[in-house]
Structure 1
Amino acid sequence: MTDRALLVQLEGYGLTTAEICYFMPDHPSLLQIYAWQEYDAAPDFPVLFDFLAHWRREIEAEIRSVRIAHEKMIRPASWRSADGVISWD
């Protein structure tokens, strides 16, 4: 059986991490952080925005901010010398 993570990466998805800062209505001065991570497609991020829509509908916490990091993990190979110098001798 093939790994789901590999299949979605082959479809163009990359690993997306979101830092969601939120507060509960009864404690507005207490800012909390939730880390979310899933494979998603940049720049539209449909999986993340579905999760945020679910949050707004089902969770009583109010989102203050969302920071997104995205890395496409399957890409053409590249390399460089550890010391920065390429020598063919």
Structure 2
Amino acid sequence: MLDGYRLVTAEILYRMPDHLGVLQTFVWQDYDLAPRYPGLSKFLAYWEKNLDGPLHSVRIATKRVITPAEFPYTEFVGIVH
């Protein structure tokens, strides 16, 4: 996870093979390397080669898996014996 992997979510809109005017949604999610996203690229290449529904669009959202720690500030400071 320290090598730049991110959680990648892709919303894929594709056309129905029998009714090209109808769009369907498919959601793909996996860990992938930014900014080239080789896993997603491989999946989309597989889709275009083997599946009948032509792609319309792909939206990508990413989130770093490991981030710097956050320490909330405290409102009380006291001594405990």
Q: Aligning the two structures, in what range does the TM-score lie when normalised by the shorter sequence?
A: 0.7 to 0.9
Following TM superposition, where does structure 1 have runs of at least 4 consecutive aligned residues deviating by more than 3 angstroms?
Answer: 86-89
**TM-score, normalised with respect to structure 1:** 0.77
**Aligned residue for 1:47?**
39
**TM-score, normalised with respect to structure 2:** 0.84
Q: Deviations over 1:57-76 (max 9, x none)?
A: 00011000000001111021
Q: Deviations over 1:2-57 (max 9, x none)?
A: xxxxxxx2332110000000012320111100000000011110000000000000
Whole-angstrom CA distance in 1 between matches of 2:71 and 2:14: 40
Say whether residues 1:64 and 2:56 are aligned partners.
Answer: yes
Work out which of the two has the higher radius of gyration on C-alpha atoms and give 1 or 2.
Answer: 2
In structure 1, stretches of 5+ residues that fail to align are 1-8
Percent identity at matched positions? 45
Pairing of 1:1-89 with structure 2 (within 5 A) = 9-81=1-73, 87=75, 89=77
AA paired with 1:62? Answer: P
Identify, as 1 or 2, the structure richer in helix: 1
> Over aligned residue pairs, what C-alpha RMSD do you find?
1.6
**How many equivalent pairs are there?**
77
AA paired with 1:29? Answer: G
In structure 2, stretches of 5+ residues that fail to align are none
